[in-house]
Amino acid sequence: MLLFFSVVTDAREWRRLKTLFEVFSDTEENMFTNQTGIIDQSGLKYPQIFMRAKESAHIPFKVQTFLAKLPPSEHKTSSNPFSQEQTYSVVEKKYNEKFKSKQIKATFQAEDGTPIGILCINVEYISPIVDQTIRCINGENTLLKRVFRIPNPRRAVTTESLSTGFPEQVHQVFVRASDLNIVCEVRPVSVNQPCDMLIKAATHNAPTVNGFLVFMYADGFLHRPINVWQFQIHAVKRLDLSCIQYQTTTSTLLLRGTRSSRLVQCFGNAPDEVIISPSNAFSVAANGLHEVHMLVRPSRSGLRTYCVNAVDIENHQIIDTWMIRVDTRVPVISKQFAHTLSFGQSQPVSKRISYTNPYAVRKAFFFTSSHPELLQVQHSKIDFQANEKKFISFTLLPAFNVTPVTDII
């Protein structure tokens, strides 16, 4: 729990707080001084105020806390994550559960260190209202870097432009994370530009969950948040593969059993590109190891991330998760064909090319396209005899929102 209790020495911040909480009193400029303040045994310097005899003054304090984590739920929940009882209880506790109260003492001392007054403050904590919850999956022991689009504040501020030097209206959002190890950054943008937030967080060994809150403010004093986002970062096992586009790469995943035997089935987020064997449910012995074979056939070049989940189909629980990071290269091009279509053409064009079986035995070949919205192959499977030559028919579909030159494999 991060707790900040301090004296408000800035007159601008004091006026801002009085406006927020409807406090009607005079504001004295330069009432505190930090240069000749009292220094305690630890070397900390406290603000000092000069008061005449029988004089009274309003000394503003502020208490601000940032939650390191949300409070755990005390009541028992079912092992089924889809049960309605668990969903309702979590929502109810999130807004009403309180933390243990804490007492803070503020001591007023004279210049010689004699205490002249003690102020006791009882602080009651309640969990904040979370506006949005975001869950991220990242590899274990790695750094997560994500950019999130956040809503712009209603009010704009005037600042000096870095490029022209003239005043301009910008949107400025101030962010603060509940965990000091989390890096949050938001840069000021123009009024008509979207506002983005950069999050950097380190993950630990799998399977762990790192949860934290991000508070967004419209003022630099961080008084009242306009949005509170909750982040849950799941550290999972990561597997890096190097593949070739439309070529199959095999790999093996090791699934470790739990304390009891389970009926497990594996699912992937891209079933057309990631094929898992066995595809049906299988039994995993307690504390045993089971090999799960995986076939990866990416359809696009570049970096792509796949996710494979091992799910207990009886209790609807995720047993293990793997993040597959695939670096796909373009295959070696054996032949190139150039076709020209008129811009704005609305009728499809049929073409065909010849292909010869290079093997001395009978083979069956499968054909596909990297851009099925532009090129469709008439037959996805063709049987060839030994060294037989056949024609492959395909259709070029009309497209209007494409680049002048498009490479299709």
Per-domain residue ranges for the chain? Answer: 2-66+97-123, 132-236, 245-329, 337-409
Q: Is a pLDDT exceeding 80 seen at residue 34?
A: no
- For the question of whether the overall pTM of this predicted structure is more than 0.85, the answer is no
| Nearest Cα to Cα of residue 301 among 339, 333, 268 | 333
State residue 13 phi and psi, 5-degree precision: -70, -35
**Average pLDDT over every residue of 336-345:** 75
DSSP 272-319: TTEEEES-S-EEE-TT-EEEEEEEE--SSSEEEEEEEEEEETTTTEEE
For the chain, helix, strand, coil in percent to 5 are: 5, 50, 45
pLDDT of the residue at 23: 80
pLDDT of the residue at 73: 38
Helix (H) or strand (E) holding 19: helix 11-21
Burial of 325 (0-12, 13-18, 19+ CB in 10 A): middle
pLDDT of the residue at 354: 86
**pLDDT confidence tier of residue 199, bands split at 50, 70 and 90:** very high
**Residue 113, phi-psi category: left (phi > 0), alpha (psi -120 to 50), beta (remainder):** left
pLDDT of the residue at 333: 84
| CATH code assigned to 245-329 | 2.60.40.10
> What's the CA gap between 118 and 367, in Å, rounded?
83
Please name every residue paired with 289 in a beta bridge, in sequence order, or none if there are none. Answer: 256
Q: Is a pLDDT exceeding 80 seen at residue 37?
A: no
Secondary structure tally for the chain: helices H, strands E: 2, 28
pLDDT of the residue at 147: 93
**Average pLDDT over every residue of 239-264:** 90
- For residue 212, give the 3-state DSSP assignment: strand
Q: Is a pLDDT exceeding 50 seen at residue 370?
A: yes
Fold of 337-409: Immunoglobulin-like (2.60.40)
Burial of 333 (0-12, 13-18, 19+ CB in 10 A): exposed
> What's the CA gap between 266 and 55, in Å, rounded?
75
pLDDT of the residue at 231: 92
Asked if domains 132-236 and 245-329 share a fold, the reply is: yes
> What's the CA gap between 258 and 311, in Å, rounded?
12
Q: Is 132-236 a CATH 2.60.40.10 domain?
A: yes
**pLDDT confidence tier of residue 81, bands split at 50, 70 and 90:** very low
pLDDT of the residue at 74: 38
Q: Please tell me which residue, 69 or 343, carries the higher pLDDT value.
A: 343
| Nearest Cα to Cα of residue 65 among 220, 227, 213 | 213
Q: Is a pLDDT exceeding 90 seen at residue 111?
A: no
Contacts of 106 (CB under 8 A, 6+ apart): 5, 61, 118, 119, 121
% of the chain residues with pLDDT over 70: 82
Alpha-carbon dihedral angle through residues 376, 380, 384, 389, given to the nearest 10 degrees: 0
| Residue 22 DSSP label | T
**Average pLDDT over every residue of 332-349:** 77
| Nearest Cα to Cα of residue 63 among 21, 98, 24 | 21
> What's the CA gap between 118 and 374, in Å, rounded?
78
pLDDT of the residue at 58: 81
Structure tokens given for 362: 């009978």
Query: Chain-centre distance of CA 157, in angstroms?
Result: 28
Q: Is a pLDDT exceeding 90 seen at residue 145?
A: yes
**Which of 4-13, 215-224, 251-260 shows the lowest mean pLDDT across its residues?**
4-13
Query: Chain-centre distance of CA 62, in angstroms?
Result: 32
% of the chain residues with pLDDT over 90: 15
Q: Is a pLDDT exceeding 70 seen at residue 324?
A: yes
Q: Is a pLDDT exceeding 90 seen at residue 85?
A: no
pLDDT of the residue at 375: 82
Q: Is a pLDDT exceeding 80 seen at residue 89?
A: no
> What average pLDDT does the chain have?
79
